Amino acid sequence: MSTDICCPACGERDDLRGERRDALIALVCQVCDAEWVRDPAARPTCDRCGGDDMREAAQALVEKSRGTQLSIQSFRQVWLCPSCDSERYDKYKVSNRPLPPDELPTESEF
């Protein structure tokens, strides 16, 4: 339900290359060489109910800074379904804060 882009062939999310072609984006997976086209203007649909009334929200991306301290590194756009994600979306609207990450880092890179 997010605008995360992944390779339709192998599922890779990070090692992708894109190039704008008119109103579309041509993507190539650097892992398996799969190619596909994406329309950035198309709104996402809910994976669970198929609804297209999706609501945009910000989600924090965190990394360990030192020891167990977590620091927000950036934000990403996610889409929430008002039917399937109603509790999560309501909390987001009330708090006016980014959603927490889906997963927390487990090991320090230092």
Quick one: which of 40, 6, 36, 35 has its CA closest to 23?
Answer: 40
- Tokens representing residue 9 in the block: 């062939």
Helix, strand or coil for residue 24?
A: strand
pLDDT interval class at 4 (50, 70, 90):
low
> How far is the C-alpha of 74 from the C-alpha of 71, rounded, in Å?
9
Domain spans, the chain: 1-42, 43-102
pLDDT digits (tens, 9 = 90+) for 52-92: 899 999 999 888 877 778 888 889 888 999 999 999 999 99
Q: DSSP H helical segments within 3-101, as ranges?
A: 86-95
Residue located via tokens 């008119």: 22
Of 14, 13, 82, 92, the C-alpha closest to 59 is 92
Model pLDDT for residues 20-32, shown as the tens digit of each residue: 998 899 999 999 9
For 51, residues 6+ apart whose C-beta sits below 8 A from its C-beta are 45, 81, 82, 83, 84
Three-state DSSP class for residue 105 = coil
pLDDT band at 17 (very low <50, low <70, confident <90, very high): very high
